[in-house]
Structure 1
């Protein structure tokens, strides 16, 4: 009974504990926004509720199986007392001697004590087993299939009737296009049109539902994953830095790089222009997630990583979309260094940054609505032209 109760109540307590962790993290991460909208007290009630719920379920998990454990302990003690009484009875009848009685009492006590410990430990193990089930479920999740093909000699990218969706919702449908080696393809379109999905599929963060993606004529599914990721560098808007030095964060791009190579990548990515002003230069710690640096500084470190990796394919999620003009200039200079002689796929928000792209795909509802160069798309007077005109008008807005 106690075993069943620990499993059932343990599941509920673990769920409550996870809920507290999620709510607390959400509250702390969003506290600036909560303050700005004067919602600190109101939002705190949700966290307070989860904490009270955890408290109740923790007490219940300890209190409900408690009587069973106490009862078992009492039974053990009564049994030991019965053994003492029986031993005294035999001693009184001269059936055993005092040394024999003492020996059996010592042995009996040491027999019951481990049983009590095992009972408590077993219930603790049953509780921990509920958490272990979640870990096993995660470890048993299917992994992406990986082939044994050699790395391609060429680095052109080909989409052949590619369709993909998250769950039952299709995101891209029947996409077919080629990206020649050492050329730049730009992806533009409204939010939710499938731009980021295409980049994620190229990087094989997901496998396609149907169709095929090839690099150098080799399906990416057939390339061993540990080799495949050497082919691609990514620079996204959201940069994550580890709580380590700038130097070590850059070296993630190539752990075997020499100090000279790291410094050279930092220089090309415009990292040195701000790093030398910091107390410990490149060896200054950046804080959790890069919290001690600005967005532009983190972005430059991200580009330095990609430069150090020197992969033949580069994926860019418009790295300058939310930067101030000064930082944007630095980032653009760093990107120019990064994309030299590379196959480049860029997700573009500012159309002025992709005017020199070799090919532009305009996406609409997961399909290719238009394709061509900047000049060709302007002449079509379609979606791209409308987006261009809107951005040109907004450049003249004043507040």
Structure 2
């Protein structure tokens, strides 16, 4: 469940589980190392004081005291190094274990989400979440917490030391540092500062997306002679981003200038206060020594202050990143049953199924499927056709439970698909989509999909899918790496790889969603001939726009605007003179249409 606590650090530790004992030990070591980093400032002051006192009093320097303080200096540095290394190792080990567990928890959770999660434009957000957001949490766990504790200890120790020696000088330095911190914090504090920061981040994100779109669509823009229009939109976003940066810099530049001026001028403030005190108490050697100590030790306060400022900067974006992680973890997996995959050939039944991608409160809500009933007997070849947006692909995706239907039921083998386990349902249905993803693996692995199958079985599926010959033409045959960094496939080749996967899977139901979209007429005929034997006895559901490819279907279901308009065989539907007949006529005209001399002829 979403952590509603506003403290971003607590949310990090509630989301990523650390081993408390090891982590507390690591943070303690790191904090103590920061505390020890202030010791040399004090020991140097003590050594200088020994020499000055001897000079003022005309006595010999006590070398033993000098060596003691020198030894303390070296010892504190050595101890600080050991503690820093130990603390860093322990904190990083805890962070890596915690974030490894978090990544695995997110992956396991996403594995139980409905497949629609991956088709809703989530890939970029998921990639950012798994990389940038989680890495930012690593910075908090491994560095920031220990640094803040250490900075707090050091500031507390210095405060105790300084206020015990001279209250006016201590008030001067801490008042200056507090003022610097408040000035720095004011850059992003308040509603106005947060709005400026939010607007800048939003415009930067829009600009990044626009640049990507501009580069990706340049080919089409140039072909159609419209690069200026795309450039104008991009220019507008660049100017918008520039204006946000100007607003941001107008606010933070004087603030940063004042912050740096105050921190750099801490010694000057001390000198002013010291001179006033010496004027009031002339000849006070003790006061002079105290002023010297403040001038030497004072700069040690700047480093922990910087840690606090940087920590505040990290927290600005951390809450947003945590919201993104919580947003995924809050998604509820669809409940699943325990039924095992059915054996043998099975039928499909859509019973009064309704579904919409928009929620009920959306005024633009449109039903993707509206009370659809379809009976597809076991071993039959059924087809879904109709105008674009009619609900064809939605019906196929609901069969695989990409989403759950709002009402009605879908049965496979006489059982509601919600009664099957996800694994059983995936074993029952094989999909071939129009857009095929090719993994950065060998051709063999891309077909086998990590199933324990032999080379002969993979080759048999490849031959049936008509991809065996072009795979053999690759440099290393079936061992050739495909995808990113490997051999590039054409759209038709990638689709035939996907068909080989489905054939090898040997599921009782095969859904082909525009599976022939990238094949020419010759390859399509060869592909159908090769698939005919292996698809024999299976229940085949083909989603198609090309009506020529489904003439032999046992039943054709015609969908329009989410409703089932008519169903029957190819011949029966043509006789009805309905929507299917109209689509058939249009496609015939399209097939006969030619370009000649700038005119169309039929």
Instruction: Report the TM-score, using the length of structure 1 for normalisation.
Output: 0.85
Cα distance between partner residues in 1 of 2:250 and 2:448: 52
CA gap of 1:83–1:92, structure 2 versus 1, over 3 A, is farther
Higher strand share: 1
Residue in 2 that maps onto 1:117:
307
Matched, 1:93 2:290: no
Stretch moving more, 68-77 or 153-162: 68-77
CA gap of 1:274–1:85, structure 2 versus 1, over 3 A, is same
Aligned counterpart for 1:135 among listed residues 301, 309, 324: 324
Cα distance between partner residues in 1 of 2:244 and 2:411: 53
Cα distance between partner residues in 1 of 2:418 and 2:249: 50
Aligned counterpart for 1:150 among listed residues 339, 346, 349: 339
Matched, 1:199 2:396: yes
Indicate conservation of the 8 Å contact 2:379/2:539, yes or no: yes
Cα distance between partner residues in 1 of 2:530 and 2:295: 81
Cα distance between partner residues in 2 of 1:332 and 1:263: 17
Shift of 1:328: 1.9
Higher relative contact order (CA 8 A, sep 6+): 1
Cα distance between partner residues in 1 of 2:505 and 2:454: 12
CA gap of 1:84–1:92, structure 2 versus 1, over 3 A, is farther
Aligned counterpart for 2:493 among listed residues 284, 297, 300: 297
Residue in 1 that maps onto 2:14:
none
Residue in 2 that maps onto 1:307:
503
Cα distance between partner residues in 2 of 1:395 and 1:112: 78
Question: Structure 2 stretches of 5 or more lacking a match?
Answer: 1-185, 359-364, 596-602
The 3-state SS of whatever aligns with 1:303 is helix
Aligned counterpart for 2:583 among listed residues 383, 387, 395: 387
What aligned pairs does 1:346-385 form with structure 2 within 5 A after superposition?
Answer: 346-385=542-581
The 3-state SS of whatever aligns with 1:229 is helix
Larger Rg: 2
Matched, 1:43 2:230: yes
Shift of 1:299: 1.0
Residue in 2 that maps onto 1:161:
352
Residue in 1 that maps onto 2:412:
215
Indicate conservation of the 8 Å contact 2:188/2:197, yes or no: no
CA gap of 1:177–1:68, structure 2 versus 1, over 3 A, is same
The 3-state SS of whatever aligns with 1:296 is helix
Aligned counterpart for 2:523 among listed residues 327, 345, 356: 327
Shift of 1:174: 0.9
Cα distance between partner residues in 1 of 2:485 and 2:557: 33
What aligned pairs does 1:240-279 form with structure 2 within 5 A after superposition?
Answer: 240-252=437-449, 254-279=450-475
Indicate conservation of the 8 Å contact 1:149/1:223, yes or no: yes
Indicate conservation of the 8 Å contact 1:171/1:197, yes or no: yes
Stretch moving more, 278-287 or 306-315: 278-287
Stretch moving more, 238-247 or 165-174: 238-247
Instruction: Report the TM-score, using the length of structure 2 for normalisation.
Output: 0.59
Stretch moving more, 159-168 or 69-78: 69-78
Cα distance between partner residues in 2 of 1:202 and 1:348: 16
CA gap of 1:392–1:71, structure 2 versus 1, over 3 A, is closer
Aligned counterpart for 1:2 among listed residues 187, 193, 204: 187
Indicate conservation of the 8 Å contact 1:6/1:65, yes or no: no
Cα distance between partner residues in 2 of 1:242 and 1:347: 24
Matched, 1:239 2:440: no
Cα distance between partner residues in 1 of 2:499 and 2:482: 16
CA gap of 1:355–1:53, structure 2 versus 1, over 3 A, is same
Shift of 1:133: 5.2
The 3-state SS of whatever aligns with 1:279 is coil
Shift of 1:115: 0.6
Residue in 1 that maps onto 2:57:
none
Question: Structure 1 stretches of 5 or more lacking a match?
Answer: none
CA gap of 1:330–1:117, structure 2 versus 1, over 3 A, is farther
Aligned residues: 396
